[in-house]
Amino acid sequence: MAHSTRTASLTIDGKTYELPIYSPTAGPDVIDITKLYAQAGVFTHDPGFTSTSACDSAITFIDGDKGELMHRGYPIDQLAEKSHYLEVCYLLLYGELPSAAELETFETTITRHTMIHEQMHNFFRGFRRDAHPMATMVGVVGAMSAFYHDSTDITDERQREIASHRLIAKMPTIAAMAYKYSIGQPFVYPRNDLDYASNFLRMCFAVPAEEYVVDPILARAMDRIFTLHADHEQNASTSTVRLASSSGANPFACIAAGIACLWGPAHGGANQACLEMLKEIGHPDRIPEFIARAKDKNDPFRLMGFGHRVYKNFDPRATVMKKSADEVLDLLGVENNPLLQIAKELERIAVNDDYFIEKKLFPNVDFYSGIILEAMGFPTSMFTPIFAVSRTVGWISQWKEQLADPAMKIGRPRQLYMGATARDYVEIENR
């Protein structure tokens, strides 16, 4: 916990309370209200947590005004350019960039955990073929707690580490199996001679009838997409994992909760919703119609892939993703991808529109990612599962950080009660 050097004075009905202020290594100061209810008998009120710090953390920092994102102090654009996903996983989990030997050991460990228990294959067959892959992932990841009993004791640091490795390693296998099941193709086992991204592509796109050769362009693009989605401070799904973990739930159940939260279109489901929106727009000429709908208070429509609770500037991940979209589509020979043209024109119009300027709405990580993923051969239903694969390392790093905090206690918010006050039961004959 940071050290308090100043206090904030809060006066209620003539009585003043001094609340400690803590200064972080970066970002806004925080006011500690942990003793406010005991001292003043009042709650603070912040639905949606727009102004609330829920925990200490040293993993990821976001400056929303500047549009900056750092993992353990390293800017995301440098990591996307110079690092790769498993190295970023190591950084998020352990706090420092690995030495060559540390990285090799870590990558070998993850590689050797990529298979899932053979009996888990049966879970997939319980789903309809047209089930959304996210539904399958919530079920199968939650069911991991029924198979990996030797890594569910959260009080045992070694078990916490094994669970972390298993989740990072097995999520691509489970996501690929959910995809294969949905298209009626046989499951493809992971290969230990392939890197993380290549393994995932092969498990998704290989078929027993022929050899699958991984395209290095796609592998690099896949790895970069994994890197860009790895962690993002206390977003909704990470907060869900932290809250689930605060009750002592096992890591697989906590990650299944995170997957469920990520699925929502306001969060990780936006990449699928954004591509579907671009397809509905269909032609640049129809952009003004959709911009008008997005601005209409009476229309629930929002520009998917736009806006963010924290970023009031460009999401730095969107900037990298936009550049990557140009590169990947060019390298794939997808000339003048119509959806990319619509997305670029939509961005150009929106960021110059007073409504979006005033509300500081910019493209976020989900705006361009779907265009790349579709060009790589993924159906829109696989966009959010890919986000979940990537974000698992963020969830589990934050889970580990919370469990290592001696001050951790179960999360239990209060409320502003606006319901009926006490009244006596009325017999049915008297109603």
CB of 292 to ligand SDX, least distance (A): 11
Residue list 10-49, contact with ligand SDX (CB under 6 A): 48
Task: State yes or no: residue 363 binds ligand SDX (CB under 6 A).
Answer: no
Report the residue from 241, 303, 325, 328 that binds ligand SDX according to the rule CB under 6 A: 303
- The set of long-range contacts for 40-45, using a CB threshold of 8 Å and a minimum separation of 24, is 40/10, 40/12, 40/15, 42/12, 43/414, 43/415, 43/416, 45/416
Report the residue from 177, 260, 304, 372 that binds ligand SDX according to the rule CB under 6 A: 304
Could you give the angle at which helices 216-228 and 85-94 cross, rounded to 10 degrees? 20
Bridge partners for 193 per DSSP = none
Catalytic residue, chosen from 231, 232, 308, 315, is: 308
For residue 122, give the nearest of 139, 99, 101 by alpha carbon: 139
Task: Pick the stretch among 167-175, 308-316, 404-412, 419-427 that binds ligand SDX (CB under 6 A).
Answer: 308-316
Contact 308, 68 (CB under 8 A): no
Catalytic residue, chosen from 165, 366, 405, 424, is: 366
Report how far residue 429's alpha carbon sits from residue 283's, in angstroms, rounded to the nearest whole number.
63
Q: Is 366 a catalytic residue?
A: yes
Nearer to ligand SDX, 261 or 328 (CB): 261
CB of 366 to ligand SDX, least distance (A): 5
Half-sphere exposure of 32 (CA within 13 A, CB side): 17
Contact 230, 51 (CB under 8 A): no
Nearer to ligand SDX, 139 or 305 (CB): 305
Identify the residue whose tokens are 């070998």: 108
CB of 63 to ligand SDX, least distance (A): 13
Identify the residue whose tokens are 């609770």: 309
CB of 134 to ligand SDX, least distance (A): 14
Task: State yes or no: residue 270 binds ligand SDX (CB under 6 A).
Answer: yes
Q: Is 195 a catalytic residue?
A: no
- Distance of alpha carbon 126 from the chain centroid: 27
- Distance of alpha carbon 79 from the chain centroid: 17
Residue list 234-263, contact with ligand SDX (CB under 6 A): 235
Report the residue from 267, 279, 312, 323 that binds ligand SDX according to the rule CB under 6 A: 267
Task: State yes or no: residue 294 binds ligand SDX (CB under 6 A).
Answer: yes
Identify the residue whose tokens are 């209200």: 33
Q: Are strands 68-71 and 60-63 parallel, antiparallel or unpaired?
A: antiparallel
Report the residue from 309, 314, 332, 411 that binds ligand SDX according to the rule CB under 6 A: 309
Nearer to ligand SDX, 220 or 302 (CB): 302
Identify the residue whose tokens are 């090799």: 104
Report the residue from 84, 308, 344, 400 that binds ligand SDX according to the rule CB under 6 A: 308
Report how far residue 430's alpha carbon sits from residue 335's, in angstroms, rounded to the nearest whole number.
74
Task: State yes or no: residue 347 binds ligand SDX (CB under 6 A).
Answer: no
Give the interface with ligand SDX as residue ranges (CB under 6 A).
48, 232, 235, 266-268, 270, 294, 302-310, 359, 361, 364-366
Active site members: 308, 366
